[in-house]
């Protein structure tokens, strides 16, 4: 059951790869499944691509929750 859940997927491109001493820069594209079928792009600094993808999905979920609250 997915009622009340926001389902999304992400893909990313590496802008600048992380190194042992610096975080990487990633362009993350997130898209949701209906009724949250929007696409968003985020630039995220992170230690790994996995962390960047997770952060992108989290930002998307927060944005969709705010949108849902505004629509009432």
Its pTM surpasses 0.85 = yes
Q: Which long-range contacts (CB under 8 A, 24 or more apart) does 37-46 make?
A: 38/64, 43/15, 46/18
Token pair listed for 5: 């859940």
The label of the residue with tokens 């009724």 reads 35
Per-residue model confidence as pLDDT tens digits over 3-50: 679 999 999 999 999 999 999 999 999 999 999 999 999 999 999 999
- pLDDT at residue 1 is higher than 50: no
Where is pLDDT greater, at 62 or 72? 62
């Amino acid at each position: 059951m997915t009622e009340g859940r926001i389902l999304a997927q992400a893909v990313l491109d590496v802008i600048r790869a992380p190194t042992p001493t610096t975080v990487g820069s990633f362009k993350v594209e997130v898209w949701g499944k209906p009724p949250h079928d929007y696409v968003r792009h985020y630039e995220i600094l992170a230690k790994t691509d996995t962390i960047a993808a997770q952060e992108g999905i989290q930002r998307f979920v927060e944005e969709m929750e705010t949108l849902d609250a505004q629509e009432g």
